[in-house]
Structure 1
Amino acid sequence: MMTDADLVRAARGGSDTAFARLVERHQAPVRGFLRRTLGSGWAEADDVAQETFLAAWASLGRLKDPDGVRSWLCGIAWRKAQDRIRSARRSAARDHAWLDEAETPAGISAEDRMAMAAAMAELAPDVRACVALCLADGFSHGEAAGVLGLPLGTVKSHVARGRARLLKALGGSDDA
């Protein structure tokens, strides 16, 4: 069986197969580390792991100790995780700033806005897009159908179902 150092040397020589073996050998520990570090679910950790291995492939020539490839990979993963965490914080700060600056229609409390956001998040993505375009952004059903590439009838039913679910989540009725 080839050692990590053997695989690194072969990968540096252009062997995709050798690098693939390194990935197979080290992906579970790197992903496990990222799942524990990010604490945000498997999908995000797996995305960051993929970014880690892409960065490793691009910078394999800079690896000083081929026997220490696992720790090198975890170092890359740590930096990628820090980037992701910083990005999430910036995004949350932008969202918070936008919510603070957004005009709140008279009579809508912060609690109702939060309940609306939570209810929107629970809608299926295509229903949420239809509701956002038609009810929040003022698009006609036809315009939304064109934007989303959905049939007009589908947009109409998504808007109606989405509106009903939002009203229910906010404790209202759908009598309108």
Structure 2
Amino acid sequence: MAESSTLDAETRNGGGSKKSLIILICALIILLIIAVAGALYLTGVIGPQAVTGEVSADAARTNQPAIYHSLDPAFVVNFQHQSQHRIRFLQTKMEAMARDQEVIEALQTHMPAIRNTLLLLLSQQDYETMRTVEGKERLREAAREEINLILEAQAAVSGVEAVFFTGFVMQ
């Protein structure tokens, strides 16, 4: 009988050292995972790019102050009002916004092509759509896209971030 109680005590002690060994192995695995993740984070494989000191061109551009360029003179176009078969007129003044002086210079250089495209765009608009805020916002976005397409084709730059209406009269 004394022999079996000695075996039970040895089994309990041996079992306890196995649990300690498993806990130690788990702790080492967790430390290894943390070390690998930290190394990947510091090398820039995971995490934000700012840790490695790299700044993308877009991020650098958004840190620059806005530069506004007026698309003078005002645009005046006529278009037909669908329901009344009457000729309507639109006079609008616009400004383009970029953050790079190179884009502004390209905008000035290619102004004849830009104005032509914008005049065509404006004359294709629907009177009822242009009466709504949503219609005006879509037109602003379409104008920005058209300007950037011209700049990309003619000067291999783009970067007009927005087009703003500074005057808008329809009759």
What's the TM-score once normalised by structure 1's chain length? 0.30
Greater helix percent: which structure?
1
What's the TM-score once normalised by structure 2's chain length? 0.31
> Which structure has the larger Rg?
2
Greater strand percent: which structure?
2
Q: Which has the higher contact order (CA 8 A, sep 6+)?
A: 2
